[in-house]
């Protein structure tokens, strides 16, 4: 399984290279013995536990650069506050991510535990992610150990313990699924159970996480109890790996952006197998033409009983054949194209026994926002409702007290379930019809806009956290997108139905390349403006403006959105209109307004 690398060099893989030929990250993973040790020099190493203990004792401000690479597998990102120029000159902090398969469902007790953790150990906010996870920001070093123990000690739900293990790192990340998978009144399914199964089975097996964070002081170990990783091996995967399950009525997970994606094929009200897509990913590097956003390729149809086997098999092929020296070329999206689709399909069949059937894929459904009230599958007495959390930041603000509103609802409505949507909103399930009016009043009393009170242009808009915390961000995103949307509303464009997504760097965590209008940070204060993604996620946007300053960007946004409204005689969906309109015409329509 060897051929030329997509980045022009012969690949360095586990099959044909020594560890010494690989990247520093690969060497660190290999030397960690299952994430237990941190290699400091060629001849010296220490335990990860020793660095965490130093933080807890306030003997260190942060962890070492080598420990940073190991800590990612535990759901931890080392960060440092940045000033407006982007310089990292502030306090050392951490971002901690909770793995939350299928977006939940979280019990009221679990949500209240996360709410408490935000106040005790972070900045008071809960950040919902575009992969349905939960993040804590501004975690100080002395609180890191206590926060992770708190999260793991939260209440069990659906057989899956809340944990930060595997929420980051070169392993399977949070496994996503449509938040309405089993709630849709017309077609209730159970793909969320598969998402939980994948999350459990693809989690790291090393005992290091438990020894570092969960063992009592008297139970601290000086050597790993179990360093074996039957799926990942000594060096884990070459890069992060993402799995998702769409619903025939909802593609809010962006199926084609996944490393491995499934959508049920429905025959009547039963599932007749799953369409399998593989090799998607949105990240790229500016000015590196060989790096790019790519949509997943269609491989065929698999039976439900082989879904987990298929994920494990593709991860194994990637572990063995993925690039290990150049991390820009290490994602599965490049490996599958380097090996060739036919070779990958044949390997799945012959080596792993996957009964992969050739077929024509079912149509992809649109991205839905889920906002408002909806009947829930079942006896008709229950509803589900989603409400907008701007950019996923759950906190109390001057005009809208999101955190307090949610706390009161989950504490007072029996049997409620809390789910995170891939649009960074919150969905509340199993709501009695009799509590509908009280819930609406509670939201209103806390200043939280609900359903049609939310401007159309805001319903599917989202941004990543970006500056000042994310070390990769080139620009702001979460902090500025609300202001841009407010300017569009002030221009009378709030009722235009268009998906706008913004990221502070080309890693594109908020998925701008599949948006109808995508914005990606470039440099310190400039942006790439993309247009033409499809509402069902089946088409990537193209670059309309390779570089715009903020004022130019806002003006271009206003004129593009106005063009969607006023120069779209066939009333095409925004992405289709932008895709079908030539660049020259769009640029003429969206020329920045002179001040």
Going across the sheet that includes 526-531, the strands are 462-463, 500-503, 517-522, 526-531, 542-549
Stretch (H or E) spanning 200: helix 191-201
DSSP β-bridge partners for residue 176? 244
Q: Determine the Cα–Cα distance for residues 311 and 322; give it in Å rounded to an integer.
A: 15
Given the candidates 1.10.1780.10, 3.90.25.10, 3.30.413.10, 3.40.50.300, the CATH classification of the domain at 1-33+240-368 is: 3.30.413.10
Q: What is the DSSP string of 308-330?
A: HHHHHHHHHHHHHHS-SS-GGG-
DSSP β-bridge partners for residue 76? 96
Count helices and strands in the chain by DSSP H and E runs: 17, 21
The pTM of the full predicted model, rounded to 2 decimals, is 0.95
Start-end ranges of CATH 3.30.413.10 in the chain?
Answer: 1-33+240-368, 458-589
The DSSP letter of residue 514 is G
Q: Which residues of 239-275 are buried (b: 16+ CB within 10 A; e: fewer)?
A: bbbbbbbbbbbbbbbbbbbbbbbbbbbbeeeebebbb
The distance from CA 244 to its chain's CA centroid, rounded to whole angstroms, is: 10
Pick the closest to residue 42 from 70, 20, 64, 60 (CA basis).
Answer: 20
**150 phi and psi angles, rounded to 5 deg:** -60, -45
Q: What is the CATH number of domain 372-456?
A: 3.90.480.10
pLDDT in 10s for each residue of the chain, 595 residues: 444 455 557 899 999 999 999 999 999 999 999 999 999 877 799 999 999 999 999 999 999 999 999 999 999 999 998 777 667 778 899 999 999 999 999 999 999 999 999 999 999 999 999 999 999 999 999 999 999 999 998 766 555 678 999 999 999 999 999 999 999 999 999 999 999 999 999 999 999 999 999 887 665 555 678 888 999 999 999 999 999 999 999 999 999 999 999 999 999 778 999 999 999 999 999 989 999 999 999 999 999 999 999 999 999 999 999 999 999 999 999 999 999 999 999 999 999 999 999 999 999 999 999 999 999 999 889 999 999 999 999 999 999 999 999 999 999 999 999 999 999 999 999 999 999 999 999 999 999 999 999 999 999 999 999 999 998 899 999 999 999 999 999 999 999 999 999 999 999 999 999 999 999 999 888 999 999 999 999 999 999 999 999 999 999 999 999 999 999 999 999 999 999 999 999 999 866 544 3
Helix ranges (DSSP H) in 242-281: none
Architecture of domain 458-589 in this structure: 2-Layer Sandwich (3.30)
**CB atoms near residue 20 (< 10 Å):** 8
Start-end ranges of CATH 3.90.480.10 in the chain?
Answer: 372-456
**CB atoms near residue 142 (< 10 Å):** 16
Q: Tokens 């057989």, residue?
A: 159
């Amino acid at each position: 399984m060897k051929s030329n690398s997509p980045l022009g060099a012969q690949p360095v893989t586990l099959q044909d290279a020594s560890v010494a030929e690989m990247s520093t990250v690969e060497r660190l993973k290999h030397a960690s013995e299952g994430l237990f040790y941190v290699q400091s020099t060629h001849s010296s190493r220490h335990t990860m536990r020793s660095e965490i203990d130093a933080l807890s004792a306030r003997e260190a401000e942060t962890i070492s650069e080598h420990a940073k690479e190991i800590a990612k597998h535990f759901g931890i990102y080392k960060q440092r506050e940045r000033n407006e120029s982007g310089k990292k000159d502030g306090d050392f902090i951490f971002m901690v991510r909770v793995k939350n398969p299928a977006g939940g469902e979280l019990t009221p007790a679990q949500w209240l535990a996360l709410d408490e953790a935000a106040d005790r150990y972070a900045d008071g906010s809960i950040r919902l992610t575009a992969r349905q996870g939960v993040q804590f920001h501004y975690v100080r070093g002395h609180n890191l150990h206590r926060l992770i123990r708190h999260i793991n000690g939260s209440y069990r739900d659906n057989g899956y313990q809340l944990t930060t293990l595997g929420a980051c790192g070169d392993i399977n990340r949070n496994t996503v699924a449509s938040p309405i998978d089993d709630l849709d009144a017309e077609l209730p399914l159970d793909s969320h159970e598969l998402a939980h199964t994948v999350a459990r089975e693809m989690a790291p097996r090393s005992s290091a996480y438990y020894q570092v964070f969960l063992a009592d002081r008297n139970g601290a170990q000086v050597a790993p109890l179990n360093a074996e990783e039957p799926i990942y091996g000594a060096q884990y995967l070459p890069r992060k790996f993402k799995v998702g399950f769409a619903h025939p009525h909802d593609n809010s997970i962006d199926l084609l952006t996944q490393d491995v994606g499934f959508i049920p094929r429905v025959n009547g009200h039963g599932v007749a197998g799953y369409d399998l897509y593989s090799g998607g990913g949105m990240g790229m590097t500016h000015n590196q033409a060989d790096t790019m956003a790519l949509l997943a390729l269609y491989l065929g149809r698999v039976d439900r009983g082989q879904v987990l086997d298929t994920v494990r098999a593709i991860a194994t092929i990637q572990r063995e054949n993925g690039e290990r020296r150049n991390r820009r070329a290490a994602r599965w999206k490049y490996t599958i194209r380097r090996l060739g689709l036919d070779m990958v399909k044949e390997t799945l069949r012959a080596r792993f026994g996957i009964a992969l059937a050739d077929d024509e894929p079912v149509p992809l459904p649109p991205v839905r926002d889920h906002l408002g009230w909806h009947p829930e599958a079942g006896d008709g007495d229950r509803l589900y409702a989603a409400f907008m959390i701007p950019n996923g930041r759950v906190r109390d603000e001057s005009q809208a007290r999101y955190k307090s509103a949610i706390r009161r609802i989950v504490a007072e409505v029996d049997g409620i379930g809390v789910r995170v949507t891939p649009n960074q909103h919150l969905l509340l399930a199993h709501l009695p019809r009799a509590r509908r009016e009280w819930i609406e009043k509670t939201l209103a009393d806390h200043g939280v806009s609900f359903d049609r009170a939310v401007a159309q242009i805001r319903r599917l808009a989202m941004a990543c956290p970006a500056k000042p915390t994310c070390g990769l961000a080139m620009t702001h995103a979460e902090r500025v997108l609300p202001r841009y949307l407010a300017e569009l509303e002030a221009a009378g464009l709030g009722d235009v139905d268009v998906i706008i997504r913004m990221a502070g760097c080309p890693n594109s965590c908020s998925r701008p390349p599949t948006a109808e209008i995508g914005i990606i940070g470039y440099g310190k204060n400039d942006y790439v403006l993309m247009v033409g993604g499809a509402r069902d996620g089946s088409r990537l946007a193209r670059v309309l403006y390779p570089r715009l300053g903020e004022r130019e960007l806002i003006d271009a946004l206003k004129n593009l959105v106005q063009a969607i409204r006023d120069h779209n005689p066939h009333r095409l969906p925004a992405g289709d209109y932008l895709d079908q309109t030539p660049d020259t015409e769009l640029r003429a329509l969206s020329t920045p307004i002179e001040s």
